[in-house]
Structure 1
Amino acid sequence: MTEHSEPKPYDVEQPVAAGRDEVWDAVTQPPVLRQWFGWDHDGLDHEIQQIFVDEATLTSPERMGWPDSSFLEVTGDDDRSTVRAVRIGDPAADPVAFDAMEEGWRVFLAQLRFLLEERPEGLRRTVHLTGSARGRGVLALADGEALPLGTRTAQVMTADGQLVLVSGHEPLDSPEAGRIEVVVSTFGLGDDAFAEVRDDWTQRWAALAREAVVTVA
């Protein structure tokens, strides 16, 4: 077996129907980052500060890089932009192997696109689900048309405006169950309305996934 000293490379690209300057602000300003990056948990603000402020080096044109040589860049004009998350990595690594960072960027950049294109009102509140399940079953649970974002990640818009991102260690069309993460993003909900969303997803998730865990802030 060949051992690789570096992780696999990735290049995750997301077009956004928003101007370059607005997108750059969204990836550099912590209050906006909180509206699309990751999911709610007690350490989210610290995570954003560490990744995008303390450890990031900003260069021109709009690019930020990290010590592992990975980088995030924004290109485009006043109307449309492209965001890329890139890691050079080891070219000999298996290109189809699961990589948590790669799939994470697929999820997060889709959440960024939703924020800037749909412009939902109010603060984002999320439900984060983890467990073991088949991808097809999870996508059916989301109850909406799935938009593939690679083989392991997909986006679903529910009828009531929730953005659901599903990401699996196995390809989502695999007949085998594997670890799945789901981020449900809501905007502008009060405590009672959000509690209904949380409880609904908790019940459905417990019925579908093994080792089901639900995280909210």
Structure 2
Amino acid sequence: MSETPRIVVTVAATADATWRALRDKDVIGQWHGWDTADLDAEIDAIYFTGVTEDAETRTLVAHGGDRFQVHETEGGARVTLTRAPLSGDPNWDAYYDQITEGWTTFLHQLRFTLERRPTARRRTVFRNDNASAVERLGLDSLTGPPGSRYRATLAGERVEGEVWFRTERQLGLTVDSWGEGLLVVEGIGADPTAVLSTYDLDGAAFDALDTRWAAWWSESEAEPR
């Protein structure tokens, strides 16, 4: 049997704090996914229903078979997610790669939560289904490695921050003006999604951000490809 995908993220936090981020519903809600009416139910289904947990070894087999392991490392903790094998159900397996990319996004959001905003409450904006979005965002011009500073105009807003991570299909950027927030764009090259995590924005500022991205995304979708 061929190996299933593994996602590894190193976090500058203790192994205990990192394990708690996988077992405390309130903490999970600050990094898993994005704000939806069903987020609490989704968290309960994935992390607390039909799971296998070993707190001593900090191992969690989530609903569906994906395995999380947290190990101490020098200066922090390493989170390894090993994907479950393909199920054999073509209707479910059609989403396998998409789910792997989703886990990549979420684990980097977990790292951001623990390292940068461990006690803050996030509010999110989510956009998807727009194959031209990455090109219009101009992210291809951001070539710096993780940890480097950048400046860019995103959806009409001049922003700056740090390159948080990059993979073949994803780019994560911190955004200073979102309190410090995080933007993750996934699907580089096809059908991108964007998750904007914001902190400490008042209602007017958050609503303005949400409205600006909604208008920009709709305009981008309407443009000829």
**Bin of the TM-score, shorter chain as denominator length:** 0.7 to 0.9
CA contact (8 A) 2:130 2:192 kept: yes
Q: How many pairs are equivalent?
A: 193
Quick one: structure 1 residues 37 and 83, their matched pair in 2 at CA, closer, same or farther if it must change by over 3 Å? same
- Distance in structure 1 (CA, Å) of the matches to 2:202 and 2:2: 42
Quick one: structure 1 residues 120 and 66, their matched pair in 2 at CA, closer, same or farther if it must change by over 3 Å? closer
- Distance in structure 2 (CA, Å) of the matches to 1:159 and 1:118: 11
Give the structure, 1 or 2, with the largest relative contact order (CA under 8 Å, sep 6 or more). Answer: 1
- Distance in structure 2 (CA, Å) of the matches to 1:128 and 1:180: 11
Q: Tell which deviates more after alignment, 146-155 or 55-64.
A: 146-155
Deviation per residue, 1:169-205 (Å, 9 max, x gap): xxx2x4xxx2111100011223222111111211222
Deviation per residue, 1:36-71 (Å, 9 max, x gap): 110000000000011111132102400100354320
Q: Tell which deviates more after alignment, 198-207 or 137-146.
A: 137-146
Matched residue type, 1:154: L
Quick one: structure 1 residues 55 and 110, their matched pair in 2 at CA, closer, same or farther if it must change by over 3 Å? same
Deviation, 1:16, is: 0.4
Q: Could you tell me the TM-score, scaled by structure 2's length?
A: 0.76
1:84 is the counterpart of 2:96: no
Give structure 1 stretches of 5+ with no counterpart: 1-5, 91-96, 212-217
- Distance in structure 1 (CA, Å) of the matches to 2:25 and 2:197: 18
Quick one: structure 1 residues 191 and 67, their matched pair in 2 at CA, closer, same or farther if it must change by over 3 Å? closer
Alignment match of 2:167 (pick from 136, 144, 150) = 150
In the other structure, the counterpart of 2:136 is 137
Q: Tell which deviates more after alignment, 154-163 or 102-111.
A: 154-163
Alignment match of 1:65 (pick from 53, 58, 61) = 61
In the other structure, the counterpart of 1:215 is none
In the other structure, the counterpart of 2:149 is none
In the other structure, the counterpart of 2:199 is 187
Alignment match of 2:36 (pick from 31, 38, 41) = 41
Q: Percent identity?
A: 28
RMSD of the TM alignment (CA)? 2.7
Quick one: structure 1 residues 68 and 123, their matched pair in 2 at CA, closer, same or farther if it must change by over 3 Å? closer
In the other structure, the counterpart of 1:162 is 181
